[in-house]
Structure 1
Amino acid sequence: MKALICNEPGSLALIDRPAPLRGDAEVLVRIRHVGICGTDFHIFGGKHPFLEYPRVMGHELSGTVQEAPEGSDLKPGDPVYIVPYLSCGDCQACRIGLTNACRNIRVLGVHTDGGMAELISVPAQNVIPTGGIDLRDAAMIEFLAIGAHGVARGHIGARDRVLVTGAGPIGMSAIIFAKARGAHVTVMDTREDRLAFATDGLGADASVIATSDDAARLAEGDGFDVVIDATGAAPPIERGFAFLAHGARYVLLSVVRQDISFSDPEFHKREATLIASRNALPADFAEVVAQMQAGRVPTQALNTHRGPLADGVALFQDWSRPQAGVIKAILDL
């Protein structure tokens, strides 16, 4: 079978490799579409801290069932998406239902080879019927579930004033699901094109260019009931504490390698809550599918770039450039 492999930072190759053998409790899936994530670009650029090369990337996956275990509800040809978090089922986190925070988690395309290949075999519980969602759209379910999980972690409701910092794909997913709950959403970013898309295409209520003056203006007044950081950088995460209203929740969708710091007196004075949001749970994936079925996710607008796996080497080089204007790129097989 064909697979796109990252041999080392900056080096991709389309290779032939043996097709995987299906395990007893696994489903063999023929991959049809692969969403390209910021994680994939970090792997390609040599910026991922927890990865060994060579690696077949790809964790935003949709396809059709090739083989399923005897007795499975799935049958060959069924359209499915893949939950890429392989949890152990035995650790304390798994025992309380936090499979997204499994102590021994393996993420497809990161800790183990992923789906930029014609076939992949994964545990049956990780293969989910699309519910009628178009297969190309289904390749975007995983990244959207990240935002849906963060919104759920923040307990966002219709009366909340929400600030989303960072208008990349993950920030956009947070905007979509905060708006689905009826919240008033302001988005802040350094890029005017991303802000325009967030307001015109996603329904954000207001936008702010991230400069020191605008940040100071945002920090005035009552602040926001919920702040969601999706910047992926420590300085804006630290600055985000200033935007919290009294009693607010601060949801960190971003994760950074370095320590972050904040004013403890200010944090206590506001009796704020700091919330980590990692990966997503089955309920979040189901929420994404439900909102897609209801027509509340602008999938065509989000999917700005696509092309065949056979051209993946050249496409990755092009799509990794900021000037390419990628929101969500998808490889087709």
Structure 2
Amino acid sequence: MTPVRQVVVNSLDDVQFELTARPVPGPGEVLVEPTLVGICGSDLHAARGVHPFISLPYRPGHEVVGRVAEVGAGVDLPLGSRVVLEPNLACGECAPCREGRYNICDVLDVIGCQTPGGMTDAFVVPGHRLHLLPDDLDDTAAVLVEPLSTPLRAVRRAGDLTGKRVLVIGAGPIGLFILLGALRAGARAVVSADLVATKRDRAVEFGAIGAVDAGSSDAVDRARELLGAPADVVFDCVSRESSVRQGIDLLRKGGTFVTVGVAAGPTTIPLDLVQDRELDLLGCLMFVREDVEEAITMLREGGVPVAEVITAEFAVEDAGAAYAASADPEQVKVVVRVRESS
């Protein structure tokens, strides 16, 4: 049987292929043949060796769209059906899992992070980790389902945003999706903050009432001026000490701070202000099925400008070049095509 190619990332400048035997699905499993696979910020952190929860080398691919090629016993998915991967692998037994928060399972692994992922010719996955895709959502849009799901969970974590003033720190894909999700959830006004001018411009194109240079000394004052008042909610997609300080400085008393970006390690926060202003600090890690379903709905409704988000596509043979392109701050979302959509 023809072996399958699996992309292996040793570093940002060292992306290779390994050949493995074509896997066979066991009971409850599905063999998926990917069509498109996205590269995200966590992939870049991992490739640079700075992701706190992914070790090198790793086998990427957690943003995956593909087709069902084979099924194991007990799986009721039609052969050839189009699916999107929900990559979290949870135990189903710990307290968070029993509460329906399996995204923070005590022993969580993520396909394409801690286990081999979908940037390959074919891979096996438990059938319950797949979502069937509707016919009116093509593969190019569907590859955004996974990266959209975390921002939508972050928006949901923040509570009712109706009429709220919102700051989003970071205007990469996650920040842009939070911006879109916050507006969809009824936010009164959203301001974006980023170091890169073109990213700030893009955030305004996506609906922000303005964008501020996160590196400027008057960033907080400028954001407050644009919002017309302190922020009700801040989403931090950067998660550095400087972004935490900016976000908390801008929050009104009783406001909410949601950290979405992956911090490189322990990060200092102004706890005196958290206590004095009675701020709510919330974390957001990945998502659950409800968020994936909401992402599919939002994409079907045309709530994401797909053509403006996916800025480059590479063949899987050029995976190394795809990683290099992803490191360019001018790119939004880079995807890798494993095979043509049928």
Range into which the TM-score falls when normalised by the shorter chain: over 0.9
Alpha-carbon distance in 1 for matches of 2:54, 2:100: 26
Residues 151-162 of structure 1: pairs in structure 2 closer than 5 A? 151-162=155-166
Alignment partner, residue 190 of structure 2: 185
1:109 equivalent in structure 2:
112
Q: Which of 213, 221, 224 matches 1:209?
A: 213
Summarize the alignment of residues 46-57 of structure 1 with structure 2, pairs less than 5 Å apart.
Answer: 46-57=49-60
- Cα offsets for 1:247-303 (capped at 9, x unmatched): 211111123112322142x33343221111111111111111111111111111100
1:65 shift after superposition: 0.5
Residue 19 of structure 1: how far off its partner (Å): 1.6
SS of the aligned residue for 1:288 comes to helix
Paired with 2:143 and 2:134, the residues of 1 have a C-alpha distance of: 13
For 2:138 and 2:116, locate their aligned partners in 1 and report how far apart those are by CA, in whole Å.
Answer: 25
SS in 2 for 1:187: strand
Q: Which residue of 1 aligns with 2:86?
A: 83
1:225 corresponds to = 232
Change (3 A) 1:172 1:191: same
1:135-181 deviation line (CA, Å, top 9, x unaligned):
12211111111110000000142211111111111111100100111
Instruction: State the partner residue of 1:124.
Output: 127
Q: Which residue of 1 aligns with 2:33?
A: 30
- Structure 1 residue 219: Cα displacement: 5.1
Is the 1:150–1:253 contact (alpha carbons within 8 Å) kept by the matching residues of 2?
yes
Structure 2 distance, partners of 1:314, 1:224, is 40
Q: 314, 318, 327: which is aligned to 1:311?
A: 318
| Matching of residue 328 in structure 1 with residue 336 in structure 2 | no
The aligned counterpart of 1:60 is 63
TM-score w.r.t. structure 2 length?
A: 0.91
Deviation string 1:192-227 (CA, Å, 9 cap, x unpaired) is 111111111x11222222211132343577411111
Measure, in 1, the Cα distance between the counterparts of 2:67 and 2:196: 37
Task: Indicate whether 1:148 and 2:156 are aligned.
Answer: no
Please give the alpha-carbon distance, in whole angstroms, between the structure 1 residues aligned to 2:196 and 2:11: 30
What SS is found at the alignment partner of 1:310?
helix
- Is the aligned partner of 1:289 residue 2:307? no
Change (3 A) 1:89 1:42: same
1:112 partner SS: coil
Compute the displacement of 1:20 (Å): 1.9
Which moved further from structure 2: 312-321 or 117-126?
312-321
One of 233, 236, 244 as aligned partner of 1:237: 244
Unaligned 5+ runs, structure 2: none
Distance in structure 1 (CA, Å) of the matches to 2:55 and 2:255: 39
Deviation at 1:9, TM superposition (A): 5.6
Residue 250 of structure 1: aligned partner = 257
State the shift of 1:91 in Å: 1.0
Distance change >3 Å, CA 53–CA 213, structure 1 → 2: closer
Contact 1:14 1:313 in 2 (8 A): no
TM-score, length of structure 1 as denominator length: 0.94
Matches of 1:300 and 1:61, distance apart in 2 = 18
Gaps of 5+ in 1: none
Aligned length: 329
CA RMSD of superposed structures (Å): 1.7
- Which amino acid letter does the alignment assign opposite residue 131 of structure 2? I
